[in-house]
């Protein structure tokens, strides 16, 4: 049986045709990856400023995540030691915009710790 677009149905989510999506989910599913993308979306940042913005993410964890994103081609480290999104990273953050919009609409606000 073929789908509406004429393609044969997949043999399941483990089908090799799904490998790029699985790799993407593996990357963005790692703790802190989405936060790094969120922080770099407006523009380039140095390690110390990025670390400051990341809250309780340790320096070693941040270094590891930055390396993963560089290896994936999503960010680059510039000669001035700042990090920025590559064209692939800009595409990825554009793809994540609906998720960020959804979160603004449907995620309840965190309780105010002052109350």
pLDDT value, residue 9: 57
pLDDT value, residue 15: 80
pLDDT value, residue 5: 60
pLDDT value, residue 67: 98
Token pair listed for 85: 């999104």
Residue 92: CB partners within 8 Å, gap ≥ 6?
Answer: 28, 37, 74, 85
pLDDT value, residue 31: 96
Residue for token pair 């790029």: 20
What is the Cα–Cα distance from 91 to 87, expressed in whole angstroms?
A: 6
Check: CB of residue 85 under 8 Å from CB of residue 93: yes
pLDDT value, residue 4: 58
Q: In the chain, which residues have pLDDT < 50?
A: 1-2, 114-115
pLDDT value, residue 115: 46
What is the Cα–Cα distance from 84 to 82, expressed in whole angstroms?
A: 7
What CA–CA distances, in Å, run from 94 to 5, 10, 91?
A: 26, 27, 5
pTM of the model: 0.79
């Amino acid at each position: 049986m073929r789908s509406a677009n004429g393609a044969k149905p997949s043999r399941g989510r483990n089908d090799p045709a799904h490998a790029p999506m699985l790799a993407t989910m593996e990357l963005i599913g790692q703790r802190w990856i989405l936060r790094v993308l969120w922080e770099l979306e407006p523009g380039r940042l140095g390690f110390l400023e990025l670390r400051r913005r990341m809250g309780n993410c340790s320096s070693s964890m941040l270094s590891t995540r930055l390396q993963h994103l560089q290896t994936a081609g999503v960010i680059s480290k510039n000669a001035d030691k700042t990090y920025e999104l590559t064209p692939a990273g800009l595409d990825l953050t554009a793809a994540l915009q609906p998720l960020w919009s959804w979160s603004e609409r449907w995620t309840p606000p965190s309780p105010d710790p002052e109350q």
